Amino acid sequence: MRLSHQLAAAVLVGASLSGCAIPLPQAPDDSDQELLQEPATEAATPSGETQPLQRGIASWYGLPFHGRRTANGERFDMNALTAAHPTLPFGTRVKVRSLVNGREVTVRINDRGPYAAGRIIDLSHAAARAIGLLSRGTKAVSLTVVDSGG
């Protein structure tokens, strides 16, 4: 096995053991990219339903951060339905919908992030599992505010 293949295998094993979404060198999924071409803004439809606030790429974090303090002072629980967002107020409840498989989960914002370029939200391990994100590491999603938390 060539050294580059051994290194790639080591990164994959390390990523799967750490429980953390590590960006791996791969070509972007074309199906995700076409879903993200136009940014979404929140607006009410005539039926009163709220449209997505934001569309983009979600990632997840887990075991290496379990028990550490989040930006709002709580201890991170990878089994809780929480998430990190760069700007939404702490306590905001957000519906995260996979644009790939349609699965949804509602999370509470309790941390800041993600810090990887091009990502809009970091989900806890439990939230990522709920929408089928664990194996991929990243997935195209839409975010809709359910409750402003204040």
Segments forming the whole domain that contains residue 20 = 3-147
Model confidence at 15: pLDDT above 70: no
What would the mean pLDDT of 103-125 be, rounded to a whole number?
A: 95
- The pLDDT of residue 35 is 46
What would the mean pLDDT of 23-36 be, rounded to a whole number?
A: 42
Q: What is the band of 136 on the pLDDT scale with cuts at 50, 70, 90?
A: confident
- The pLDDT of residue 47 is 45
Q: What is the 3-state secondary structure (H, E, C) of 11-50?
A: HHHHHHHHCCCCCCCCCCCHHHHHHCCCCCCCCECCCCCE
Structural domains in the chain (count): 1
CATH no. for residue 106? Answer: 2.40.40.10
pLDDT greater at residue 139 or residue 14: 139
What percent of the chain has pLDDT above 70? 66
pTM higher than the cut 0.85: no
pLDDT tens for 78-90 read: 999 999 999 999 9
| Residue listed under structure tokens 């429980």 | 19
Q: What is the band of 141 on the pLDDT scale with cuts at 50, 70, 90?
A: very high
Model confidence at 73: pLDDT above 80: yes
What would the mean pLDDT of 131-144 be, rounded to a whole number?
A: 93
Query: Buried (b) or exposed (e) across 100-111, using 16+ Cβ within 10 A?
Result: beeeebebbbbb
What does pLDDT average to over the chain? 77
If we measure between CA atoms, which residue out of 60, 128, 120, 118 comes closest to residue 88?
120
